[in-house]
Structure 1
Amino acid sequence: MSSSASLDLPPPLSASTSERKVSSSSPAAAAAAARNPISLRLYKVLAANFEDDATREALRTLSEFYQPATDKGKGKQLDAGALHLTNGHAHAEPQTPASALLPAVSTGVAVRARKNLRRDVELRLAECSQQFLRAFGEVDEKLDVLNSHVAQMRAKCDEIHAQLQASNDACKYLLERAEGLQTQRQTLIARSELVNSFLKRFTLTPAETDAMVSRDVPVGQSMFDAIDRTEKIREDCRVLLSGEGGESQAGLDIMATTAQLLEQAFQKLLRWCSFEFRQLGRDAMLEVSPTMREAVRRLRAQPALLTEALSALSSIRQTTLLNSFIDALTRGGPGGMPRPIELHAHDPGRYVGDMLAWVHQAMAGEQEFLESLFGVRHARMVGAVRTAGEGEEESWVRRLMDENLEKLCLPLKVRVQQTTRSQEGSITAYKIANLLQFYLVTMQRTIGEQALLTKTVQEITDFAFKVFFDTLEASGRSLLRFLHPPEADLGPPLTLRDFSHVLREIMEDYARADPEAEGDGFKKILDTSLEPALEMCKRMSELMPPQAAWEQHIFLVNCFVYLQAMLEPYGFTGERVDALEEQIEGHVHGLMDEHYTRLLKDSGLHPVVEALSSQTSGPLSHEPAASSAAVTSALKAFDTFLSTLDVQSSPRLALLSVPSVGSRIHRGALARIARDYGRVCDAVRDARNKYEFASTLLGSQRPFGQMGVLSQVLGIAEDEIAAA
């Protein structure tokens, strides 16, 4: 080791020179040199590349290892005796520090490094080894302590492991139990959600329950919403009960609970409606709130409860209306206006009309109130014709109106009958009866024919008409009681004119009551009134002398024409007008026949016409009354007749009250005279009658045998003469 360290290496320059020498030598010398270790080492050193990082780092470390000393006094020579070997290792004395082992640095660093490099390196390695030994000694001590601790920890770990194993076993069971509980929890949560959903759908909230049953919560929209919710629950529950599983206990319980709640809610509505009806029934001005209307609509689902509530309302309204009617009769309105109805008791028509008008107004008010109470959308006007398809609301309204107006029947009936019974005149009796008939029709259409008030008014109306017809029959009997011959003017008697005046007023009232009235409703009145009048006229005509048939006809025509003129303006008397027209025509024809007979005699044609009418098979000229001389005399008299004739009228017809009738009779008789003149002319011209010089005979006097001339003289058309 010391011999190697003491070798002096040649400098690098000499090595290079040697290398060049060897290279220039012979190959044998090169092979020998290659086998020399020194040569090999030199070659290796010379061929080494000092550019790699490891070499550069080694050289840097080496340069730091032999740094120049800054304090020469502090350097000490390494005492070779300071080292000793123990167990083949170099150890420094304990009292010598590691830095003391370093060699003293001199100016000949390279020389010393070449000489002492191995020694210095070994010293540094020894110092490092000592440091490692001290460190490992401490580690060993620590490891002993650690081993004891590790043993203790291992024991504790074994104990903990055993506990962990036990805990693991316990936790495994707990985990399994927890997993089962978690599954159960999920199931319970799902069931809870289902139950909550079920309860939310099939149960009421406390607020809804209180709204239905609690007296502290007023009746209002909240209660109606709760009832709707309950009905919806019951409807859904019916579906639940009709499922495949059949009836369930939950469904039955829900139905029982909701039924009980609904019953309590309807009882609450009943109490509230009864109280409100008592308050409302006493008011004159009736106003229905939306809450009351809705409450009544809800109670319609329970007819018994609704009937009970409406019975209380009907009782209150009966008393209220009766008191109001009595006050209107005796005290009048507020402050005395309007005045009491009974102040007009001296005027039967107004008295009865005011009472019926008050009842009609009360009926209209009740109808409006009840229609508002039941929410009738298409309200029917008072007196409008009832339709067949009447709804439930209209039935309730009609029934309650009948009940509410019930107590008005007796006082109305007593007063109207008393007033009607005291009447003696036909006109007043008829006005009352006709007024009652009008209100009867109105009430029949409004509250129905079976209502008590309608029946009462029907009874009063029948009684009034009976009184009227009794009065009318009494008037007719009075016409036939005192009969006398007609006056000299043969006009209608005064009693007939008075009677006609009464009948005209009755017809006026009938026409005003119903302008489109037909004759069926008035037929009985006409029969009752006209028959006695016609009978009176006939009996008065019969009181005239038998030879006064002409005057009888004129008198009857005057009476009948007067009655016809009275009846003609009214459309419902057409049947009677036609009957009178037939009777007038019969008497007109009688007058025309008699007037014709008189005019025929006055014309001078009567003997010839009579002979012509009674002509036998022989010639007419052979008849003494129709000989040529008789015909000439008759024609001459006819000419004179035409000269003095008034073709427009006749004094004998002046007593007819209607000039047109007398003119018609006169013209009809003249037409017959002209017809007879034509017959005479035809008979004279007929060769079978053997008249000589027939043309001369007829042409000697007007109208010269020409019908056209006679038609012009008389002012009558030839067609009218031919039809006579």
Structure 2
Amino acid sequence: MTTSVENLPVSGTESLPVPTAVPSSTLIQQHSPSSSQQQITPVQRKLQKILDLKLESDKDLIESLKYLSTFFNENSVRTRRSLRSTIEKRSLTLNDQFEECFRVVKEQLDDLNDTVTSMSSCCEDMTQRLKDVKAQTQELISKTTQIQNENQELSIKSKITERFIERFQLKPEELNALRATKDGYLHPDFFNVLKRVKAIHQDCKLLLRTNQQTIGLEIMEQMALHQESAFERLYRWVQSECRLLTNDVPDLSTLLSQAVEALKERQVLFKYVLDEYGLARRNAVVRGFIDALTRGGQGGTPRPIELSSHDPLRYVGDMVAWIHQVTASEKEYAEILLRKLSDWNELTKTIQILLGYITEGLC
């Protein structure tokens, strides 16, 4: 048994012929040129091959026939004869549609390619800019590093300079303290600043041992001028203070003793100060001696020494007693004035000279 064609359902009311089972011997006899011919022709062989196909199990063929039924609407001799051309046209139409779809895809891909190319160009441009910026940034970083190093070096130099100025220069307030001696006023920090000036002058000797000899000499000269100016002001202040020590009991302040000690570094000024002090105390002692001779003490006690002139022994004894008492008092005053001197032998000798000069006026 073989198959024959039956009508397959198609879209609409038409149907396509589909194979149905027919006797294969009948078909062979119909196509056979002669019933007596024993050899099978190629047509018979092809037909036999077609008839032997099991179409119900060939899914691809069935699907093809189903698809064919979507556009093969009329089952006639004319349409069957033009089936191939219809399929080819259909294929061509599908290919055109496919080509059209791919043309759109190609255009989109071309647009995408242009976009990608533009993006690539932008990326290359950005990359080049980044390289340029990196180069500029590298140069900027290099300059920044150089500036930072220079800044650090300048900072170190600034600190060294500040330390140098702090050690070898006077501050404005120190200069004011050194110069503020007007109207009998001596600044409390005067002697501290004077000691600092002396220390700076001594420290400059260290600079003379280095390659900073020029600045060392300049600072030494500057400090020497400050010292001389300070000693001159100090001498004038001590001189004015000593001229006020004409009372019976002088007011010897600690500041005056400190000033006399400072003037010890200038022997000439120190001698002038002692002479000024001795002259003031000599005048005070002479005046006191005259008062003791003629007026006596306050309220008449003790009596004037002159009242005992008729008795030479008592007269001389009273004068010697008064001189002894005054000498002891003046010695105490001199010790208070020179209490800052550290050399005891020099202190003793200086006091003896002062007492001799002071009491000399009594002769």
Distance 1:343 1:191, change over 3 A: same
The 2-side partners of 1:344 and 1:144 are apart by 147
The 1-side partners of 2:201 and 2:341 are apart by 29
Q: Over residues 203-231 of structure 1, what are the superposed CA-to-partner deviations in whole Å (9 max), with x where a residue is unaligned?
A: 22222222222337953552222222222
Match of 2:204 in 1: 237
Match of 1:628 in 2: none
Q: Does 1:277 align with 2:231?
A: no
Distance 1:162 1:401, change over 3 A: same
Q: TM-score, normalised by structure 2?
A: 0.63
Q: Does 1:202 align with 2:156?
A: no
The 1-side partners of 2:210 and 2:142 are apart by 38
Q: By how many angstroms is 1:341 displaced?
A: 0.7
Distance 1:403 1:148, change over 3 A: farther
Distance 1:159 1:269, change over 3 A: same
The 2-side partners of 1:208 and 1:402 are apart by 40
Matching residue's letter, 2:293? L
The 1-side partners of 2:233 and 2:341 are apart by 27
Q: Which has the higher contact order (CA 8 A, sep 6+)?
A: 2
Match of 1:291 in 2: 255
Match of 1:338 in 2: 302
- Say which SS state the counterpart of residue 254 (structure 1) adopts: helix
Match of 2:353 in 1: 399
The 1-side partners of 2:151 and 2:268 are apart by 51
Q: Structure 1: 5+ residue runs without aligned partners?
A: 1-83, 86-136, 379-388, 410-724
1:632-647 paired onto structure 2 within 5 Å:
none
The 2-side partners of 1:165 and 1:262 are apart by 67
Distance 1:145 1:364, change over 3 A: farther
Q: Over residues 475-513 of structure 1, what are the superposed CA-to-partner deviations in whole Å (9 max), with x where a residue is unaligned?
A: xxxxxxxxxxxxxxxxxxxxxxxxxxxxxxxxxxxxxxx
The 1-side partners of 2:242 and 2:129 are apart by 85
1:181 equivalent among 141, 147, 165: 147
Q: Does 1:223 align with 2:177?
A: no
1:351 equivalent among 293, 296, 315: 315
Match of 1:310 in 2: 274
**Conservation of the 8 A alpha-carbon contact between 2:341 and 2:347:** no
**Conservation of the 8 A alpha-carbon contact between 2:235 and 2:269:** yes
1:311-330 paired onto structure 2 within 5 Å:
311-330=275-294
The 2-side partners of 1:357 and 1:271 are apart by 36
1:318-467 paired onto structure 2 within 5 Å:
318-375=282-339, 391-409=345-363
Percent of pairs identical after alignment? 33
Matching residue's letter, 2:238? C
1:61-80 paired onto structure 2 within 5 Å:
none
Match of 1:105 in 2: none
Distance 1:366 1:161, change over 3 A: same
**Conservation of the 8 A alpha-carbon contact between 2:260 and 2:273:** no
Q: Over residues 228-266 of structure 1, what are the superposed CA-to-partner deviations in whole Å (9 max), with x where a residue is unaligned?
A: 22222222222332x254x61121122112111212221
Q: By how many angstroms is 1:146 displaced?
A: 7.1
Q: By how many angstroms is 1:342 displaced?
A: 0.4
The 2-side partners of 1:347 and 1:146 are apart by 147
**Conservation of the 8 A alpha-carbon contact between 1:211 and 1:218:** no
The 1-side partners of 2:309 and 2:232 are apart by 49
Distance 1:233 1:145, change over 3 A: farther
Distance 1:275 1:318, change over 3 A: same
Q: Does 1:254 align with 2:208?
A: no
Distance 1:353 1:196, change over 3 A: same
Distance 1:332 1:147, change over 3 A: farther
Q: Structure 2: 5+ residue runs without aligned partners?
A: 1-65, 68-103
Q: Over residues 6-33 of structure 1, what are the superposed CA-to-partner deviations in whole Å (9 max), with x where a residue is unaligned?
A: xxxxxxxxxxxxxxxxxxxxxxxxxxxx
The 2-side partners of 1:214 and 1:149 are apart by 87
Paired positions, count: 262
- Say which SS state the counterpart of residue 250 (structure 2) adopts: coil
**Conservation of the 8 A alpha-carbon contact between 1:376 and 1:394:** no
Q: Over residues 546-605 of structure 1, what are the superposed CA-to-partner deviations in whole Å (9 max), with x where a residue is unaligned?
A: xxxxxxxxxxxxxxxxxxxxxxxxxxxxxxxxxxxxxxxxxxxxxxxxxxxxxxxxxxxx
1:165 equivalent among 116, 124, 131: 131
Matching residue's letter, 1:306? F
**Conservation of the 8 A alpha-carbon contact between 1:341 and 1:354:** yes
**Conservation of the 8 A alpha-carbon contact between 1:287 and 1:369:** no
- Say which SS state the counterpart of residue 338 (structure 1) adopts: coil
1:193 equivalent among 135, 159, 169: 159
Q: By how many angstroms is 1:329 displaced?
A: 0.9
- Say which SS state the counterpart of residue 282 (structure 1) adopts: coil
Matching residue's letter, 2:163? S
The 2-side partners of 1:353 and 1:335 are apart by 22
The 2-side partners of 1:146 and 1:296 are apart by 103
The 2-side partners of 1:342 and 1:370 are apart by 29
Q: By how many angstroms is 1:340 displaced?
A: 0.9
Matching residue's letter, 1:215? T
Matching residue's letter, 2:195? D
RMSD: 3.3
**Conservation of the 8 A alpha-carbon contact between 1:213 and 1:261:** no
The 2-side partners of 1:341 and 1:150 are apart by 133
The 1-side partners of 2:175 and 2:358 are apart by 36
**Conservation of the 8 A alpha-carbon contact between 2:297 and 2:303:** yes
The 2-side partners of 1:396 and 1:278 are apart by 19
Q: By how many angstroms is 1:408 displaced?
A: 1.3
The 1-side partners of 2:113 and 2:358 are apart by 115
The 2-side partners of 1:390 and 1:341 are apart by 37
Match of 1:458 in 2: none
- Say which SS state the counterpart of residue 221 (structure 2) adopts: helix
Q: Over residues 27-52 of structure 1, what are the superposed CA-to-partner deviations in whole Å (9 max), with x where a residue is unaligned?
A: xxxxxxxxxxxxxxxxxxxxxxxxxx
Distance 1:376 1:177, change over 3 A: closer
Distance 1:326 1:146, change over 3 A: farther
Q: Over residues 129-165 of structure 1, what are the superposed CA-to-partner deviations in whole Å (9 max), with x where a residue is unaligned?
A: xxxxxxxx99x97x88876665555444444433333
Q: TM-score, normalised by structure 1?
A: 0.33
Matching residue's letter, 1:257? Q
- Say which SS state the counterpart of residue 375 (structure 1) adopts: coil
The 1-side partners of 2:228 and 2:327 are apart by 35
The 2-side partners of 1:283 and 1:329 are apart by 18
Match of 1:695 in 2: none
Q: Over residues 598-618 of structure 1, what are the superposed CA-to-partner deviations in whole Å (9 max), with x where a residue is unaligned?
A: xxxxxxxxxxxxxxxxxxxxx
